[in-house]
Structure 1
Amino acid sequence: MNTIIKRTKVRHTILIFLFLATVFNYADRATLSVVAPIMSKELGFDPEAMGLAFSSFGIAYVIMQLPGGWLLDRYGSRLVYGCALIGWSLVTMFQGTIYLYGSPLIVLAILRLLMGAIEAPAFPANSRLSVQWFPNNERGFVTSVYQAAQYISLGIITPLMTIILHNLSWHFVFYYIGAIGVMLGIFWLMKVKDPMHHPKVNQAEIDYIRSGGGEPSLGCK
């Protein structure tokens, strides 16, 4: 009599991490928009100066798309995404300190350039991980989850940032959101693995992913 082995569902945990990473990907981007009216008044930034700060992110984000994709292929989505999450969150925290410098606008523009560069691999990594971890018949739902995360972030996290802004100061918006992102990134590196290297995934789940068109061996050395 053959024993039927029930497949694990580790991929569902991976989906939660993809969702949370995307939430804070967009939350970190939104911090400057939330604090801009008060921060610009305090530091004496005119609209042109704020335009420079906002555009710095987009310029670096676009330029780093191809290098970001190369990094994902070279080092794997799990490592690059986790390190990027920690990196852009640290940059977010440092934005709360720009008032300490003699040229805060230059520091802010540099930090926004760094943030754009570091965040560039995020959505390609989402796509790559969905191919690694999910069969074709689940991938539409997976994509909708991490696409929805950006709007959930703007709808839920942004109001929370506004509360922090009005009850503390604009510095703490950067500090709190960045700190949560750093902790999430550390937890990501601890818990997220490639399918073939994950200690809790069984062969039945690997076979299910592969038979459904997924590529659990993608990027494995």
Structure 2
Amino acid sequence: MPVHAKTATVARIQWVALLFLTAAGIINYIDRSALSIANTAIREELHISPTEMGWLLSAFSLSYAFAQLPVGALLDRFGSRIMLGLGMFFWSLAQAACGLVNNLSIFLLSRAVLGACEAPLFPAGAKVISEWYNQRERGTPTGIFIASSCIGPCIAPPLLTVIMLTIGWRWMFILTGVLGMMLAIGWYLIYRNRQQVPLSAADVAYLEEGERFRVSEKSISGKEWRGLFAHATTWGMLVGFMGVIYMVWLYLTWLPSYLEHQRGLSVAHILAGWSRCLICLGWPA
């Protein structure tokens, strides 16, 4: 049982932060899914070949992967409020820009910016939870936040398909981009890093409960980084996530196009099938 009680101040900050993080995670994955939903419509309007569509899809993943490398150091320097706020705003701006493009080059640039600016989300979320939850209580908020990576891909196909069929693929990108920019502004105006909030002794006692050591400000050396690869656990995580991410990315990118071109299922038919599944599960028609 916890020794120190959680104060109302900390509880309020926790729920506000977790709400923003989960919403950001859901929007993050909705934005990632948009190109695959509009794959056929974009190829027909902009005369893009399947190979060029592959470049568009890869532009996101490559920039996202390489942007992960400096994110940790930048988060330590500037904090989650600035890094996530700026990242969310500019990835959403890039998402909206995808709805305005008329050539492949600008589209590639927008997708690359989208990927690079989405990189701070999950590291920032981990930092926020470590700052505002004590060690005993981090499991539940982490699970809720990480669940956004499943909720987003789940709701993205029907949501984006409805928008695309109703007002077009361009507005699909623009509306989701504007929504993300609004959330980014709200995050920056409302959220504060732990060192920016005056805390009472009771607040500090709760937050530091269960900590076995203080976080060191010393930079990790190259030798220490290389030492990680001497552990089987590191390689197990790398190989495991390669498999997981491959399957997730296949779903997020090529599955809708595959169903349409190889199985003869249009996006409208897929949406109808999704609706029937919800009705069978007891959802209202």
Taking structure 1 as the reference length, the TM-score comes to 0.88
Structure 1 residue ranges, 4+ long, deviating more than 4 angstroms after superposition? 214-219
Per the TM alignment, residue 105 of structure 1 is displaced from its structure 2 partner at its CA by 1.0
Preserved CA contact (<8 Å) 2:34 2:160 = yes
**Aligned equivalents of 1:122, 1:35: Cα separation in 2:** 24
**Aligned equivalents of 2:5, 2:209: Cα separation in 1:** 16
131-140 vs 172-181, which deviates more? 131-140
Q: Which amino acid aligns with 1:207?
A: A
Alignment partner of 1:32 is 2:30: no
Per the TM alignment, residue 193 of structure 1 is displaced from its structure 2 partner at its CA by 0.5
Alignment partner of 1:212 is 2:192: no
> Equivalent residue for 1:44?
47
> Equivalent residue for 1:113?
112
> Equivalent residue for 1:126?
125
Match of 2:26 among 3, 23, 26: 23
> Equivalent residue for 2:70?
67
Preserved CA contact (<8 Å) 1:133 1:215 = no
**Aligned equivalents of 1:91, 1:215: Cα separation in 2:** 40
Which is bigger in relative contact order (C-alpha 8 A, separation at least 6)? 1
Residue ranges of structure 1 left out of the alignment (5+ in a row): none
From the CA coordinates, give the structure whose radius of gyration is larger: 2
**Aligned equivalents of 2:157, 2:212: Cα separation in 1:** 35
Preserved CA contact (<8 Å) 2:33 2:156 = no
Written as runs of structure 1 = structure 2, the 5 A alignment for 1:34-183 is 34-99=37-102, 104-183=103-182
Per the TM alignment, residue 197 of structure 1 is displaced from its structure 2 partner at its CA by 2.2
SS in 1 for 2:7: coil
**Aligned equivalents of 1:189, 1:63: Cα separation in 2:** 25
Q: Which amino acid aligns with 1:63?
A: F
* Structure-2 change in CA distance of 1:202 and 1:191 (3 Å): farther
Per-residue CA distance 1:79-133 (angstroms, 9 max, x = gap): 100111001000000000112xxxx111111111111111112111111111111
Taking structure 2 as the reference length, the TM-score comes to 0.69
Preserved CA contact (<8 Å) 1:134 1:214 = no
* Structure-2 change in CA distance of 1:109 and 1:76 (3 Å): same
Preserved CA contact (<8 Å) 1:210 1:216 = no
* Structure-2 change in CA distance of 1:154 and 1:6 (3 Å): closer
**Aligned equivalents of 2:94, 2:188: Cα separation in 1:** 18
Instruction: Please give the root-mean-square deviation of Cα atoms over the aligned residues, in Å.
Output: 2.3
Preserved CA contact (<8 Å) 2:88 2:184 = yes
> Equivalent residue for 1:197?
196
Per-residue CA distance 1:121-162 (angstroms, 9 max, x = gap): 211111111111111221111111111111111222431111
**Aligned equivalents of 2:6, 2:59: Cα separation in 1:** 50
User: Would you say how many aligned residue pairs link Structure 1 and Structure 2?
Assistant: 211
